[in-house]
Chain A
């Protein structure tokens, strides 16, 4: 990838919003995006395209890396009229989702627009992600099983 992380955007914060945008529900992102005003003109640097990506894992986080399987990924890169460049990589084949996520990433790097994108798009996304997580957490917690090993008294 290119190294166009701008010096005045914190990499950690950008990772957080890129993850949030990529993991969001496409329909919800579209709704929030439509509610955003004063959007700049965008130019596509690399139009949305889908491809395969090999996911890798490590057993227990420490073993040798192994190939878990391929997933479909769609990526997009855009540039605002002011020259801010946004990228997005999302799972699946939703090209519009990748494009919207890239446009949000570009706008979030623009100090003049970041505040409204943060408020109108990121905050609702954070809340619905929180909701999804706690719902899933509750579903999983309901099926929790505790395992006990009885003391075997061999001594």
Chain B
């Protein structure tokens, strides 16, 4: 069939689940080294880790451009599925230039691009957040 879409569901109970995820993200960032588990309830498109998807669904919105590393995906199809998923659930735009990104999702083993490709603006609000997996 031509009109079958692969869009996956987001949080089933967004308000409660996003609050839990937000609390855990705060814990993990406030106390570096703390291991937290988030996103168990999500099954995002291939290439996007469930925890990465949970971070983006919790924190990203239409004002937070997201940059996705090519290393996460095998082929354009997977990339497009992830893009559709994030556009639908967060309303966020997926951009090509890492320098403009508010969030960048990278594979932990990824060596490219170098960290200075991301925005290191002195204003905290303009800085790029780099969750790593």
Contact = CB atoms under 8 A, between A and B. Distances in A.
Interface of A: 1-2, 4, 6-9, 43-47, 49, 77, 79, 82-85, 109
Contact of B9 (A4, A44, A83): A44
A138 to B, nearest CB: 42
Interface of A is mostly: loop
Given A2-B87, A47-B12, A47-B13, A79 B3 contact: no
Nearest to A87: B88
Given A47-B14, A49-B14, A4 B7 contact: yes
Contact of A84 (B3, B9, B87): B3
B83 to A, nearest CB: 10
A109 B1 CA distance: 11
16 contacts: A6-B2, A6-B5, A7-B3, A8-B3, A45-B7, A45-B10, A45-B88, A46-B9, A47-B12, A77-B88, A79-B9, A83-B1, A83-B3, A84-B5, A85-B5, A109-B3
A82 B2 CA distance: 11
